[in-house]
Structure 1
Amino acid sequence: MSEVIRKSITLLTAIKPNEEKEEWSATEISRKLNIPVQTVHRLLVSLEEYGFVFQNKETKKFRLGLTLLQLGFSIRDNLPVRNSSLPVMKKLWDKTRENVYLTVPEGDEGVLIDCINSQQSLKDAAPIGVRFPLCVGASKKVILAYMNTRVKQRILKGLMEKGEIKDLKKLEEDLVIIQKCGVAISFGEIKEKNVSVASPIFSWEDKVVASISVMIPDTRFTGSRIRDIISFTQKAAEEISEELGWIKRR
């Protein structure tokens, strides 16, 4: 990879906004990345020209530019699985009144690309674009469970090398159960005191391309509601899959 490209990507990642800070000076960026301030200035000028960073004229500090948002939404808005899922997600939310998520795989991670949030659970909602390894959480594990064996083993090997998997045997046993049941359930893996229920979405090629999931506080995941959430989620996944041309095996 070109050194300029590598440094540019590193810079963009470094100035990602958080709860404590939204803007950075060139000096702060230089210190954070251990890159000469002159180099940082050159990179910022080039990135600003194309809208990847924005300089606040009053503070002279920099933040991520809206071009990144535009690019991200252009990708998301043209994903067939998202377009097919939105009406079904709304129906699932109407039935459950809980957070409903749509997750797609990218490499060895699952990326949240859309959601409908419950007002009563809004503070627990995950942000669009957040990503986790495919070995963490129901919405990711259910995708991994239905991948073909060769791809699954490659991903498991890579996650093991990264130290993301603590107990491979247990994970493999869980994936077998998920595939048999057609649903994954996780307790507090992403958010403490929350339960996630997820089912896989398939393309016309019978390839897993996404998952739809419901996240619910564990205090509400009781009694007949457990069966309802699981049933509603599975039916929603099947409806989206059929919209994508998938034919259910009898």
Structure 2
Amino acid sequence: MDLLNLFLTHRRLSINEMAQLSCIPKTSVHRMIGSLEEMGFLNKDKDGQYSLGLLFLQFGNLVAERLDIRPIALPVMQQLRDDVGEAVHLVLRDDWESIYIEKLDTDHPVRLFTKIGKKAPLYAGASSRIILAFMPEQERELYLDEIELKPIGSRTILDKEQLRASLALSRASGYSFSRSELEDYTAELSAPIFDHSGQIIAALSIAGLEVHFGEEQLPGLVQKVRDAAYAVSRKLGYNQ
């Protein structure tokens, strides 16, 4: 493991470099490298340099495919809900829509319309829009060219140039905020969750009555939501 861990920060290494970096005797390194190469954990090129073998890619893809994001995100969501006192959502993309796959509610007497399984278009609401913002550019532009923007709440964005500007701001700031886009008098604040490859895989959001998201509260709430989303991303192998 000491030798394999060297490849977390180095793309290619020679036996001499591995011995120097690991402080393991060269003869021991040579013996262990032979076994690692035979098992497929390392590959040797024509210059005698070693790199991680394709076996890691195979295992890595299996780990990614078998991850269920809900139990991974739930402890972070619970802490965030207790911290901010607002409903917390976990949202995935479903084709040209977003879908709520987990929700932690509050004991507020006024509850939101959201529920597990509810869908929304990618252009409306903070969770949907943060997913759209971090989608690959070509795919995002295809969506923007084809979609017809229809009103849902009183402040749903209906102008494509305004929508593009909002998406650019979300990519730059790392969060999205919406007011009365899916339901009047409510607000939602969302941040992206990335997987091990750096691709957006989900959105984490808090939502509640619009009056709870005033200008004074917003900076602190933004930081908490971004930190929570990053914590889930780290659990999924994201390391940027």
Return the TM-score normalized by structure 1. Answer: 0.64
Asked if 1:144 is matched to 2:132, the reply is yes
Runs (4 or more) in structure 1 with deviation over 2 Å come to 162-166, 222-225
Q: Give 3-state SS (helix, strand or coil) of 2:177's partner.
A: strand
Q: Is the 8 A contact 1:110 1:131 kept in 2?
A: yes
The answer for the alignment partner of 1:246 in structure 2 is: 238
Per the TM alignment, residue 189 of structure 1 is displaced from its structure 2 partner at its CA by 0.7
- Equivalences for residues 10-25 of structure 1 within 5 A: none
Number of positions where the alignment pairs a residue of Structure 1 with one of Structure 2: 170
> Take 1:166 and 1:212, find their aligned partners in 2: how far apart are those partners?
24
Q: Is the 8 A contact 1:205 1:246 kept in 2?
A: yes
Asked if 1:222 is matched to 2:226, the reply is no
Specify the code of the residue in structure 1 equivalent to 2:232.
I
User: Which among 182, 191, 196 is matched to residue 188 of structure 2?
Assistant: 196
The answer for the alignment partner of 2:63 in structure 1 is: none
Asked if 1:127 is matched to 2:119, the reply is no
Asked if 1:95 is matched to 2:87, the reply is no
Q: How much is the aligned-residue C-alpha RMSD, in angstroms?
A: 1.8
The answer for the alignment partner of 2:167 in structure 1 is: 175
Return 5+ residue gaps in structure 2 as ranges: 1-65, 152-156
**Deviations 1:16-47 (CA, angstroms, capped at 9, x unpaired):** xxxxxxxxxxxxxxxxxxxxxxxxxxxxxxxx
- Equivalences for residues 27-46 of structure 1 within 5 A: none
The answer for the alignment partner of 2:12 in structure 1 is: none
> Take 2:113 and 2:83, find their aligned partners in 1: how far apart are those partners?
18
Return 5+ residue gaps in structure 1 as ranges: 1-77
> Take 1:121 and 1:191, find their aligned partners in 2: how far apart are those partners?
17
Q: Give 3-state SS (helix, strand or coil) of 1:124's partner.
A: coil
Q: Is the 8 A contact 2:112 2:208 kept in 1?
A: no
Which structure has the bigger radius of gyration? 2
The answer for the alignment partner of 1:231 in structure 2 is: 223
> Take 2:84 and 2:113, find their aligned partners in 1: how far apart are those partners?
15
Per the TM alignment, residue 153 of structure 1 is displaced from its structure 2 partner at its CA by 1.4
> Take 2:131 and 2:203, find their aligned partners in 1: how far apart are those partners?
6
Percent identity at matched positions? Answer: 25
Return the TM-score normalized by structure 2. Answer: 0.67
**Deviations 1:99-149 (CA, angstroms, capped at 9, x unpaired):** 000100011100000100011055224111010110000000001001111
